[in-house]
Amino acid sequence: MQRIIADDPQLRQDLCQCLQVGYNVDPVPFCLTSDDLATPSQWWQRRMADAGTDPAMSDDAYLDLIARLARPGSKVTVNRSQTPRVSQTPRRTRDHYIRMNTTGEAVVETANRFTPAHVVLHPLQVEILNLELPRLFLTGPPGTGICIMLVLKGLEWLRQGNQVHVISTWYGSEASSHLIVSQMKQMAGPDGVHLIRMHSLDLDQDDLAASEALVIRLADTAVEGQLFLVANEVFNEATVDRPFTDFCDSLLSRVPGLHLWSASQYPDYGPPMLTQKVLTEPLRIPPSVTRQLQQCGYTGQDREVLGYTEAIGPLPSDGLVPIELVHAGDGHSAFEAPDCVQCGQEVGRTLKRLHIDGLSLGKGRPENPRYRDVLILSRGNVLHDEKTDATGNVTHAASGFIQGLRESGIPVTVLARGDAAGLRDLATMAGPDHVVAAFCADVKDLERKIVVWVQSSEFRQGEDEGRRQACGCCSSQLVFVRPPPDQEYPSSDDGEQ
């Protein structure tokens, strides 16, 4: 162990930092090695004798030490205010929190409480579903259960024997549409799968002829004057509402028995022919994430997106404290984080500390997160993969952040804009067990246990909007990679949406 640490200065630095000792202090005696396992009490006595009497030793610090000796991982506390919605068997020590042995277990436990395998509905959601409205526009901030409402309504129509069409109205709604189709297929069973159809249309880019052609095709599939459609994230925040409203008008004029449930986070753009209902209680993201969303400046009074209302009942957890990494210090040679190899390496080490391995500590214990449970988001194309020519030679290197992740041993796939197959795999959790890096506007309504937000100065104008989209995807652990507080950014008037 001495030899390994001597050959790896970074490992020594990380170990000293973890043990909270100076860099010049030998960290090996602080570690319980295999040589000490025969007589661990002697190791403990040596450590206590070395340390002497410490008046600052608290009960919690003592429990931390005991946890490291008693089990293979650390003690991690997850606060709770009621019985968890998911049946797990971690040790419960007090009424208001439970303790687990690794941060990975804490990440999974928190995510399972807010995004359980079984559907948990708010009373208002049940009320809206029971209204049996033929045409509806749902709106509300992220994490309020809007997407699952569309899935459940689509399932209801499927079980009545109707064909259901899922419509993607622009590229930003493509992932959400694939997610809805995937969930409907999983829940509908073999009898309903063949009745699900998905259509993609970019109302912002395609001409009116393409939109009208889809209207005609859909109208031709109507049975006895009835047609059943689901559409989520129907508005691009960078454009006006008219394209979708015109689409609805044209379709309704051809099919008076149109059943259409649609949704968007933007309440002011609801088509007038659709009844509007609002969901504002956070159900699928913990309070630690909603607080970050509220700091983004895009929710609340006089904002484009509605603010959250207080939960009518106790939430299953307050969530995990966001992790903040700063693009500053030795080794951070690039101007900003997306180009920084060191930032990528630090995120890689952070993910390893979260035990991203999918393993379990034993029977009845939750699994640790997997690589596919991690989403790394930024604005624009600042995170990009390497490009090669026909002979396999690299013509354009990957961004420094991606290089750093890979150097730290993290398998990562970079989702390029326009990669339809890759986006479908991301939405349906298909493909290899890799961390995925993507443009934040392309992953609306997807949910991941761990979300890393990499801040860039290139698109500073829309930074709050991008961070809001990143937070809206997170069901457990947020990680922020920020610039130093005193760093100045150039202004940008052409930031992508």
Whether 246 maps to a domain, the answer reads yes
Q: Write the pLDDT tens digit of every residue in 107-146.
A: 998 998 888 877 778 889 999 999 989 999 999 999 999 9
Whether 303 maps to a domain, the answer reads yes
C-beta of residue 141 within 8 angstroms of C-beta of residue 304: no
**Residue 381, C-beta contacts closer than 8 angstroms, at least 6 positions apart:** 416, 417, 439
At which of 278, 312, 347 does a domain end?
278
Clarify whether residues 142 and 226 are in a common domain.
Answer: yes
Q: Are residues 235 and 327 in the same domain?
A: no
Strand ordering across the sheet containing 97-100: 76-79, 97-100, 91-94
Tokens representing residue 172 in the block:
């930003």
Same domain (yes/no): 243, 378: no
- Kindly give, in sequence order, each residue whose CB lies less than 8 Å from that of residue 29, ignoring residues fewer than 6 positions away: 46, 47, 50
Q: Which of 20-34, 88-102, 259-273, 304-318 shows the highest mean pLDDT?
A: 259-273
- Answer yes or no: do 362 and 470 share one domain: yes
CA dihedral 79, 83, 87, 93 (to 10 degrees): 50
Same domain, 299 and 225: no
- Edge-to-edge order in the sheet of strand 257-264: 196-200, 164-168, 226-231, 257-264, 135-139, 275-278
- 338-389 residue pLDDT tens: 999 999 999 999 999 998 877 766 666 678 899 999 999 998 778 989 888 8
Q: Do the domain assignments include residue 77?
A: no
Q: Kindly state the helix (H) or strand (E) to which residue 481 belongs, with its residue range.
A: strand 474-482
What pLDDT sits at residue 224? 94
Q: By CB neighbour count within 10 A (0-12 exposed, 13-18 middle, 19+ buried), where does 203 fall?
A: buried
496 belongs to a structural domain = no
Please state, in angstroms and rounded to a whole number, the distance separating the CA atoms of residues 67 and 212: 64
Q: Are 258 and 252 in contact (CB under 8 A)?
A: yes
Which among 228, 256, 278 is the end of a domain? 278
Residues linked to residue 388 through DSSP beta bridges, in sequence order? 394
Based on the fold, state whether residues 162 and 303 are members of the same structural domain.
no
Total residue count of the chain as it appears in this document: 497
Residues 248 and 298 in one domain: no
Are 202 and 342 in the same domain? Answer: no
Task: State the Cα–Cα distance between residues 373 and 396, nearest whole angstrom.
Answer: 28
In a domain, 2, yes or no: no
> Are 167 and 304 found together in one domain?
no
**pLDDT at residue 494 is higher than 60:** no
Q: Is residue 96 part of a domain?
A: no
Domain assignment present for 403: yes
pLDDT at 478 over 60: yes
Q: At which of 278, 309, 344 does a domain end? A: 278
Domain match, 265 and 293 both: no
Range of the domain at 170: 123-278
Q: Is the pLDDT of residue 435 over 70?
A: yes
Residues 328, 349 within the same domain: yes
* CATH code assigned at 420: 3.40.50.300
Which H, E and C letters describe 35-82, residue by residue? Answer: HHCCCHHHHHHHHHHHHCCCCCCCHHHHHHHHHHHHCCCCCEEEECCC
Same-domain status, 440 and 467:
yes
Domain count along the chain? 2
In angstroms, rounded to a whole number, what is the distance separating the alpha carbons of residues 336 and 344? 12
Strands 323-326 and 474-482: parallel
